[in-house]
Each structure stands twice: as structure tokens, then as C-alpha cells.
Amino acid sequence: MRKTSAWAGTWEESRIRTARELLAAGFLRSSYTMYANILSRSTNPAVRSQSLEVMAAIAWKLGKDGHARELLDKADMERGVSGSPRTGAYEGGVRQHYEGVNAGGDIRVLLARNAVLNVRFVGPCVDSGAIVLPRGEYEVSAKHGHIYFGGRSAGTMLQCAPSDGVFEYGGRVYPGAVRLMVDNDSALLVNLVPLETYLRGVVPAEMPASWNGNALKAQAVAARTYAARRMRHPRHAEYDLVDDERDQVYTGFSACTPESDLAVSETAGRILTHGGEPILAMYHAHSGGRLEAASLDSHPYLQGGQDVESTSMWSGAWEMRLPVRRLARHIGRDVLGITAPERTPGGRIESFHVRTDTGMQALPCRDVSALLAPERLPSRLCDVRLEGDEVVLSGTGYGHGMGMSQWGARAMAEKGRSYVAILNRYFPGAELLQAGQ
């Protein structure tokens, strides 16, 4: 395999420089996109063959073995050796040759989906067309299937790599690269960032950094595992996950602390697996004393049962009140009573039954939660009763109750238990491994 540079031409050199910088920073998909851009425009066989080789190396690291070999077949054609047997040594050289191709890769996080949004670069930025964009704020919009960036059309997708490695959106600072694209007449703002760097923005957003270090480490492993699974099973073709409670809260560098950074670094690369795959590492604030089991046999590590750890520090009790008139207006009937006879094995409400002047009417939990706005139903582990002109909901816990209780993790850590013990408690049967093992 060639070790000397084959790049030629000013535009090629500038694009290769950007692609290599992205690769060295761990932005695998971003670098792949840049090399694909080079491949689409270059007529130099040496440039094209080396681009294909780098793309193949990246594909292997992303687990796309078949695609990697297809790319090497194309590289053979460019090198004029199509049809010749390819040695294992050659393929191994492609896998290992390019510095910066690492197993971690970059995760794609959706930060926004709007018709118009604004992103700010605090330093110069190089876009995927190798155009240097000066620092400043740019308006991004989606029109007629195209992205408009700073008043100019950028096609269906634009990727930018800030020179100082960060950008601003919504008053927050984010690390990594920016990808802008169109989806159903909306502009998508996607942050491409190395997994370990992403976790620095997740751990302090999901758990107070003042909590015990072993609780923070357990949170770091759970968050890393959840993200690793999403990278294998993305939420959307254009991004792996979103930046809120639908996946994990991610606030970029805005919430980083030395304590949470230490938890990430001291567990670097460690994930929970089952059957050779990252587990579905669910977690929640407080179980209310009762964990909920997964309904699928494929997640045996998400088990139900009593959770005395969570309630040993705080009961997690709460009470909320809903005006009867608001409920009556929602269902269009007079409300005479309300019950919740159907429960999950963990004791959580499946749905509410409202007795009206015309009979019983089922009401989903999400409807009740929406009627409590701007608050929301903390947990379905609760009871309900009619008291005068109010519906009274009283319960314990915060969140869905599956997987790791964060308050339980805190309680165990305060009692001197290790983060490994915490993970074993809440994900029994899962194996803690170093990524890549």
C-alpha cells in the first residue's frame, strides 16, 4: 500500500487537508463525507484510489465490512489492478494505515429542526466545499428542498468544521462539527462529535455533578452504552439521537464540570453489553421504590422488583391536582369519577378510566400529563381520586422506572459501593467491557 502522498492540485490539497483534520479529530462520518466529495470531483486516479482506501478504512471501523470491500474493489479499478487477487495483508494495511481512524467514531446528535435557525461560529470555519467562512452568526433556512446558509444556497447538505473546534447554538457552546440538511422543508442542525466528548455534555445534564463520584461513573457508563447502541440503531437516517429526554439530555460544553469530566475519563470506553451488543441502558431519576421490567424478552437485564436503594435517601413522594373542569372540557363530558384499575406488573398505571354522564371513558396517561401543563405527570406509579372540584394524583418516583434509578445509584455510592456494583444492581446479567473487546 502506498505511503507517499498522491494529492495534487490546489483545490484537492485544501479538501484533503480538511478531510485529514476531521479524521484525526475522530469525525469518521464527517471525514468520509469529505473524501466522497473529493472522489466525486477529482479525475486523478491516484487521488481517487487513496480516497477510496481511506473511505474503506472508515467503513471497516463503522462495522460496514461489505461496503468497505466494495470501496476497495473500486480502488483496485483506479489503480489498474482490477480482477487481481487482493491479499489479506493489503486489506489489513488499509484498516490500520490511516492515523486517526478509531473505533469510537463520531455520534450524530440532532440539536434542532426548524424552518429557520441561527448558528454562530466563534472562529473561522471550513465547509464541505473547502470554503472558509469567517466568524459570526449565520441564518440557516430550508426552502424548496435546499439549505440556505448565510443567504446562499448550499444544496441539500452542508457540513462545517470550526477551526477552534466549537460553535454556538441557542446560547450554548457545542464541540465538533456542524451538519445542516433538509428534511420535509425543515432545516436540521446536527452536531457531529466524538462519543467521549459528547458524554462530557450529557453526564452533568443528566445527574448533578455534586453527587458522589461513583454515581457519576455509573451514569457515564449508562449514557455511553445508550449512545453506543443508538449509533448501531439510529433514531433517524440522518442522526443517531436527539438532545433531550427522548434520548439523553445533551447541552454541549455549557454544563461541563471537573467532577463529571473525571467520571467520563475514568470510565473511558467502558460499556455494558449482552449477547455481544450494547444493552438498552435505560435510566430514570427515581423509581419510587419499584422497578419496572422490560416487556421484551430481548432485554432480560431490565428487571422489575423492589428498589429500597432509591427510597433509602428520599421517598420521592409527590402530589398533583387537576381541575375537574379542565378534564371535562378535554373529554367533552361531565366527570362523575375517575379510577385506574389497569396496572403494569410494577404497579404503574396503564390508563385512567373516567366515569361520565354517558358511561366509562378510557383516558391515556399522556393525556392526563398534558392536562397538567406546564407541569407533567412525574410517574405512573400513583393513585387517583376525585376530591371536590379537583382530580388528585398522588404517587412516588420520577420517570419510567426502568433500568438504573439515579437516586438509587446515589444512595449506593454514598454507602461506599463502587460504580461497577451499582451497574450490576440495576442491569443484572449485563457484562461491563471496554469498547472494541
Residue of 377, 326, 375 whose CA lies nearest to 349: 377
Q: What is the pLDDT of residue 131?
A: 58
- Whether the ω angle into residue 374 lies within 30 degrees of 0, i.e. cis, is yes
The low-confidence residues of the chain, meaning pLDDT below 70, are 1-14, 17-18, 21-28, 81-105, 126-132, 435-437
Residue of 26, 58, 35, 36 whose CA lies nearest to 193: 26
Q: What is the pLDDT of residue 40?
A: 82
Phi/psi region, residue 359 (left: phi>0; alpha: psi -120 to 50; beta: rest), is: left
The DSSP code for 232 is H
Q: Which three cell numbers stand for residue 305?
A: 422488583
Residues 6+ apart with CB under 8 A from 18: 34, 126, 130, 161
Cα–Cα distance measured from residue 126 to residue 134, given in angstroms and rounded to the nearest whole number = 9
Question: What is the chain's percent helix, strand, coil content, to nearest 5?
Answer: 35, 30, 35
User: End-to-end alpha-carbon separation of the chain, Å?
Assistant: 27
Q: What is the pLDDT of residue 12?
A: 64
CA distances from 96 to 1, 61, 378 (A): 11, 10, 50
Q: What is the pLDDT of residue 101?
A: 41
Q: Do residues 367 and 330 make contact, with C-beta atoms less than 8 angstroms apart?
A: yes
Q: What is the pLDDT of residue 68?
A: 81
Residue identified by cell 432509591 is 310
Dihedrals phi, psi of 361, to nearest 5 degrees: -135, 130
Cα–Cα distance measured from residue 293 to residue 280, given in angstroms and rounded to the nearest whole number = 12
Q: What is the pLDDT of residue 129?
A: 56
CA distances from 222 to 2, 257, 260, 267, 309 (A): 42, 18, 13, 11, 18
Q: What is the pLDDT of residue 7?
A: 36
* pTM given for the model: 0.76
* Bridge partners of residue 273, in order along the sequence: 278, 431
- 3-class secondary structure, 153: strand
Residue 393 parent element (H or E) = strand 390-396
Torsional sign, CA 181, 183, 189, 192: negative
